[in-house]
Chains A and B, each alone.
Chain A
Amino acid sequence: MIIPHPLLGPRDAAEFVYLGDASLIDRPDWQAEGAMEQFHDYGYLRDNPAGQHQELWYHEQGDRSWLVVTRDTLTHEITQVELARDVARARGRDK
């Protein structure tokens, strides 16, 4: 596969390490009520769709960016690639 890196252009997927569903950005609040249950769902119940999937890739043999890649799990077509940091900020993550 080829991943169009938003900063570096098309890069072979072999340069990357895959983590999984981009919901791993949405780490629960450790102090929330029911935090244990939320962390269970966060850690163990991920999206596994047959179709569009937002997922985390790490450019380990490159610029060490974490990317959020939108890829179809049936065709492997990639339709969007964003810096994970931008996605995290947009989802309201801070310090």
Chain B
Amino acid sequence: MRYSAFRIFKEGLTGNKGWKPVWRDPEPKAEYDIVIIGGGGHGLATAYYLAKEFGHRNVAVLEKGWLGSGNIGRNTTIIRSNYLLPGNEPFYEMSMKLWENLEQDTNYNSMVSQRSILNLFHTDGQRDAFVRRANAMFLAGADAELADAAALRRELPFLDFDNARFPIKGGLFQRRGGTARHDAVAWGYARGADSRGVDIIQNCEVTGFDIQNGKCLGVETNRGAIKAKKVAVCVAGSSSRVMAAAGMRLPIESHVLQAFVTEGLKPVLPGVITFGAGHFYVSQSDKGGLVFGGDIDGYNTYAQRGNLPVVEDVAEGGMAIMPMIGRARLLRSWGGLMDMSMDGSPFIDKTHIDGLYFNGGWCYGGFKATPASGYAYAHLLAKDEPHPTAAQMRLDRFRSGNIIDEKGVGNQPNLH
């Protein structure tokens, strides 16, 4: 069923009785060419691009809960490609280009809104680092724009320019950055994959791998064994647990990132804004809530909830740059599991087990990567070669020393 304004009009006149399920609810088959473990954004995008771009339709996505129940269902919805390093920036710029055509491509309005992202800076050293980054973005074909404090004051007069502990000296804009409606991204990919024959199987938990003689032949699930020529793991915060079933240890720790939303408000923020002297990033959703976040709590956890010190720290960051939000109320907070890698960058790679592939280590930047991650993973699964933009996202990069450390904080996951 194709979605359009005309279809809505027609359905509206006939009691909305003609809408069909957005996806089927199939029983798992005994065997697939490719089984993707994890029905989150990345897994669904992988299935979608496998079917659409690489002609693989005998594919299943296994999701232990409801589709989109992982970090795609709980994030601050920011899309951007303002990275620095050659191992990352071309990949995220590819993602941005996929975002820009996502709705037309999937025929699903994921509300990709290129309302801009602004990174504030407060010192000369930060400005210098942003100039380097902005130029790297240009070299990779992305857009960037520097603004001084005077220009920012004209554009965003509500920021604290006069009484700030860390005065705003300027900012780096990526005008093409912005936000997307996170759940709709999952639903759009699911609908697109399903309509091309991919089986999306909810409430199907993988309990083990069928590995014989160094080759992965399929998976065990709570709904029976499923054979597969290739098994693609894509489970974010559960990466260590799932890969442990295959006997692998990963350069990943699981941490909790809290995110927050205020009550609905009439429009106040035009785009995404991030603070440079504390950890705070914020945008306003189409429904009017201020959606914001900050640091991870900082300790290993699988508990999907955080604690108060970070809540307060994030609020302090918000009040520091925009003291007009003091009377806006925090409505809801939540915690998601982050697969924090040892250098802050992800993995899209084969494993040493034949037929077993791994995608993970997204830290808390996985949402913006969703299209490119799906595309590059599909490329790897279909061709057994990495997509050129993801060629450095290897599991063995810590052995070679070719690390991709955007923040320069080393092998300490809770600092990335």
Contact = CB atoms under 8 A, between A and B. Distances in A.
Q: A–B direct touch, CB within 8 Å, in complex? A: yes
B326 interface: no
A48 B303 contact: no
A49 B243 CA distance: 12
B412 A73 contact: no
B244 to A, nearest CB: 8
Contacts of A76: 301, 303
Interface stretch (A11-19, A25-33, A83-91): A11-19
Counting chain A CB atoms within 10 Å of each CB, the highest count among B250, B301, B342 belongs to B301
B298 interface: yes
A13 B307 contact: yes
Contacts of B250: 45, 48
A1 B307 contact: yes
B287 to A, nearest CB: 32
Contacts of A46: 253
Counting chain A residues whose Cβ lies within 8 A of the other chain, the interface size class is: 20 to 34
A44 B411 contact: yes
A53 interface: yes
B299 interface: yes
Contacts of A1: 307
A50 B339 CA distance: 13
Interface in A1-60: 1, 13-14, 18-21, 37, 40, 43-46, 48-50, 53, 55
Contacts of A49: 240
Sorting the interface of chain B by its residue count into under 10, 10 to 19, 20 to 34 or 35 or more gives: 20 to 34
Interface in B233-280: 240-241, 249-254
A18 B413 CA distance: 11
B300 interface: yes
B414 interface: yes
Closest 6 CB pairs of A and B: A48-B240, A44-B251, A50-B302, A44-B398, A14-B309, A45-B249
A73 B301 contact: yes
Interface of A: 1, 13-14, 18-21, 37, 40, 43-46, 48-50, 53, 55, 71, 73-76
B399 interface: yes
Interface of B: 240-241, 249-254, 298-303, 307, 309, 342, 398-399, 411-414
A43 B253 contact: no
B303 A40 contact: no
Most B CB atoms within 10 A — which of A20, A53, A55, A71?
Answer: A20
Contacts of B254: 48, 50, 73
B152 to A, nearest CB: 33
A44 B302 contact: no
B260 to A, nearest CB: 19
Given A40-B399, A45-B250, A45-B251, A18 B302 contact: no
A75 B303 contact: yes
A75 B304 CA distance: 10
Nearest to B312: A14
Given A45-B249, A76-B303, A18 B398 contact: no
B348 to A, nearest CB: 18
A21 B299 CA distance: 10
B8 to A, nearest CB: 44
Most buried by A among B252, B300, B301: B300
B415 to A, nearest CB: 10
Contacts of A37: 399
